[in-house]
C-alpha cells in the first residue's frame, strides 16, 4: 500500500514531479553523455598510441629502457628469431614487429638535422600502424633504401618524396657509417615531438647501416589490448633476460598523463553535476514534503511510525530516481546515437596539434555506474529532505499549515 500511495503521490503535483524527473534525467543524461565521451577520448587516445607508435607493448632486454648505455647495441636482442617464433605461436598475438632504434644525422645538401631512426619491417607494419598519417608521398612498404620522415624533420631538411637524404650513424662496430635513402613519404601524427624527430627505414637497411644482426626491441600487436598481461607474463617466463612494457608505460607522458588528466576532469565535472542534482532535488522534495506536513501528521496519528512515513517518502524518491535516471540515460543514448553518432569535433588534445573527433563509447559497466550514482544522489536528497519532517512530533505536524 505504501508503494501504491507513493506512486499516486507522483501525480499529486504534476509540475513538481516533472521538475524533479527533469532534474534527475538531466543529471543522469549529463553524467552518461560525459562519461561516454570521456570513454571515447580514452579509447581514441589508446588506439592512436597503439597504432601510431608502440603497438600494444614492447620487448627489450632486461633493464634496457631504464639504463643509458654508451653502446646500446651491445644490449640488443641477439636471439630475436627465437623470440619472434615464440610470439607468433601465442594465440593472443596478431603481429610481431622487430625494430631497431638509432640516432642519426640526416643531410640534404647543406641542410642537416639530427633525428631518431626506426628500422622496421615496413611491409608488415603498414597495416597495423595505420594511425601514421602520410601527408605526402606514400608509406614505407617494400621500397629498398626508402625512408619516411616526420613532417617537422622533412621541413627542416626541405625534402619531399623522391628526394635523397644521407644518413650518418655511429655503427655497432663503433665506426661512422653512411647510407643514402630516398624519401618515399612524409608523415604527420599530430604529436609535435614525434613529427620533428622520427624517421623510418627498412629493418635490414637499418641493420646494414648499424652493422648488426640484432634488434633493439620487438613491438607486439594483440588481438585484444586486454590480453597484454597474459602475453607479457608468457614472454618473461620463457625469456628471463627480456622484459616487457605495455604501451601506456612506454608513452607515459602522452598517454598515461592524458588519461589521468581526463579522469580527474571527469571526476570534477561529476561532482559538480551531482551537486546541482542534489540541491535541485532536495529543494523540490523539501517543498513537497513541507506542504504535506498535516497529512504526515494524520498518517502518524493513525499509527504510522516515523520510519513508515520515511519509507513512503523514500519510495517516492525511489520511483522518481528510477524513472528519471532511465529517462535521462535513455534519451541521452537516443540523441547520441541518432544525432551525434559521428562524434563531436574537438580542438587538439594535450600534446597534439590536429583537431580530433570524439565519439561516444558505451559500455554496460558505465551504464550501471551512472545509474547507481544518479539513483543514490536522488535517494540521498530525499533522505535529507524528508528526515526532519518525518521526525517532527505528530502534534506539531498536525498544527502546521
Partner 1 sequence: MNNKYLYELHDVSFSYKLGNLTVPAVQNISLKIKCNSLITLLGPSGSGKSTLINLLGLIEPIQEGDLRLDGKNLNILSEKEKNQIRRNKIGFIFQHFHLIPVLTAEENVAYFLYRQKVPKGEVKEKVEKTLRSVGLWEHRMKKPSELSGGQKQRVAIARALAKDPKVIIADEPTASLDQKTGKEIMELFAWLVKERGVSVIITTHDPMVESYADEKIHMQDGKIVSEVLA
Summarize as ranges the residues that interact with partner 1 (CB under 8 A): 1, 5, 8-9, 11-12, 294-295, 297-298, 300-305, 308, 393-395, 398
| Strand pairing class (164-170; 176-187) | antiparallel
In the complex with partner 1, the residue whose CB is nearer, 11 or 339, is 11
Query: Do the Cβ atoms of 103 and 283 come closer than 8 Å?
Result: no
We find the least distance from the C-beta atom of residue 298 to partner 1, in angstroms, to be 4
Of 204, 206, 191, the closest CA to residue 132 belongs to 191
We find the least distance from the C-beta atom of residue 310 to partner 1, in angstroms, to be 14
In the complex with partner 1, the residue whose CB is nearer, 7 or 81, is 7
We find the least distance from the C-beta atom of residue 267 to partner 1, in angstroms, to be 40
We find the least distance from the C-beta atom of residue 47 to partner 1, in angstroms, to be 53
Nearest-angstrom CA–CA distance, 118 and 153: 14
Nearest-angstrom CA–CA distance, 46 and 349: 13
We find the least distance from the C-beta atom of residue 399 to partner 1, in angstroms, to be 9
In the complex with partner 1, the residue whose CB is nearer, 26 or 314, is 314
We find the least distance from the C-beta atom of residue 303 to partner 1, in angstroms, to be 2
Query: Do the Cβ atoms of 124 and 97 come closer than 8 Å?
Result: yes
**134: helix, strand or coil:** strand
Query: Do the Cβ atoms of 328 and 335 come closer than 8 Å?
Result: no
Q: Give the DSSP H/E element, type plus range, for residue 396.
A: helix 394-399
Of 36, 39, 41, the closest CA to residue 348 belongs to 41
Q: Give the DSSP H/E element, type plus range, for residue 17.
A: helix 14-49
User: C-alpha grid cell for residue 352?
Assistant: 597534439
In the complex with partner 1, the residue whose CB is nearer, 365 or 401, is 401
Locate cell 636471439: which residue? 79
In the complex with partner 1, the residue whose CB is nearer, 8 or 223, is 8
**150: helix, strand or coil:** strand
In the complex with partner 1, the residue whose CB is nearer, 49 or 306, is 306
We find the least distance from the C-beta atom of residue 344 to partner 1, in angstroms, to be 43
Query: Do the Cβ atoms of 187 and 132 come closer than 8 Å?
Result: yes
In the complex with partner 1, the residue whose CB is nearer, 8 or 257, is 8
Amino acid at each position: 500500500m505504501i508503494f501504491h500511495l507513493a506512486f499516486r503521490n507522483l501525480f499529486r503535483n504534476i509540475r513538481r514531479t516533472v521538475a524533479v524527473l527533469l532534474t534527475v534525467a538531466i543529471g543522469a543524461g549529463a553524467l552518461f553523455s560525459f562519461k561516454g565521451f570521456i570513454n571515447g577520448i580514452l579509447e581514441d587516445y589508446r588506439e592512436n598510441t597503439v597504432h601510431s607508435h608502440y603497438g600494444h607493448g614492447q620487448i627489450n632486454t632486461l633493464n634496457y629502457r631504464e639504463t643509458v648505455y654508451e653502446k646500446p647495441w651491445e644490449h640488443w636482442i641477439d636471439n630475436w628469431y627465437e623470440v619472434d617464433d615464440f610470439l607468433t605461436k601465442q594465440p593472443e598475438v596478431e603481429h610481431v614487429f622487430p625494430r631497431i632504434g638509432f640516432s642519426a644525422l640526416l643531410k640534404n645538401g647543406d641542410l642537416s638535422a639530427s633525428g631518431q631512426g626506426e628500422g622496421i619491417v615496413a611491409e608488415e607494419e603498414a597495416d597495423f600502424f595505420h594511425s601514421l598519417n602520410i601527408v605526402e608521398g606514400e608509406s614505407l612498404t617494400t621500397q629498398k633504401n626508402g625512408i619516411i620522415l616526420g613532417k617537422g624533420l622533412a621541413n627542416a631538411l626541405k625534402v619531399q618524396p623522391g628526394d635523397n637524404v644521407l644518413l650518418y650513424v655511429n655503427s655497432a662496430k663503433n665506426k661512422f657509417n653512411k647510407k643514402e635513402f630516398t624519401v618515399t613519404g612524409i608523415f604527420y601524427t599530430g604529436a609535435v615531438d614525434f613529427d620533428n624527430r622520427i624517421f623510418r627505414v627498412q629493418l635490414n637497411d637499418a641493420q646494414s647501416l648499424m652493422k648488426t644482426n640484432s634488434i633493439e626491441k620487438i613491438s607486439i600487436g594483440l588481438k585484444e589490448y586486454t590480453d597484454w598481461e597474459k602475453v607479457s607474463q608468457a614472454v618473461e617466463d620463457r625469456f628471463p633476460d627480456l622484459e616487457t612494457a605495455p604501451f601506456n608505460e612506454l608513452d607515459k607522458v602522452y598517454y598515461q598523463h592524458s588519461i589521468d588528466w581526463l579522469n580527474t576532469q571527469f571526476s570534477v565535472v561529476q561532482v559538480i553535476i551531482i551537486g546541482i542534482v542534489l540541491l535541485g532535488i532536495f529543494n523540490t522534495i523539501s517543498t513537497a514534503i513541507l506542504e504535506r506536513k498535516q497529512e504526515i501528521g494524520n498518517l502518524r496519528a493513525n499509527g504510522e511510525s516515523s520510519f513508515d512515513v520515511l519509507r513512503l517518502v523514500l519510495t517516492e524518491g525511489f520511483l522518481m530516481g528510477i524513472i528519471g535516471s532511465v529517462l535521462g540515460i535513455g534519451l541521452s543514448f537516443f540523441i547520441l546515437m541518432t544525432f551525434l553518432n559521428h562524434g563531436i569535433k574537438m580542438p587538439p588534445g594535450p600534446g597534439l596539434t590536429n583537431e580530433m573527433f570524439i565519439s561516444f563509447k558505451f559500455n554496460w559497466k558505465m551504464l550501471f555506474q551512472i545509474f547507481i550514482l544518479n539513483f543514490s544522489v536522488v535517494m540521498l536528497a530525499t533522505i535529507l529532505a524528508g528526515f526532519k519532517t518525518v521526525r517532527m512530533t505528530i502534534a506539531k505536524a498536525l498544527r502546521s499549515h
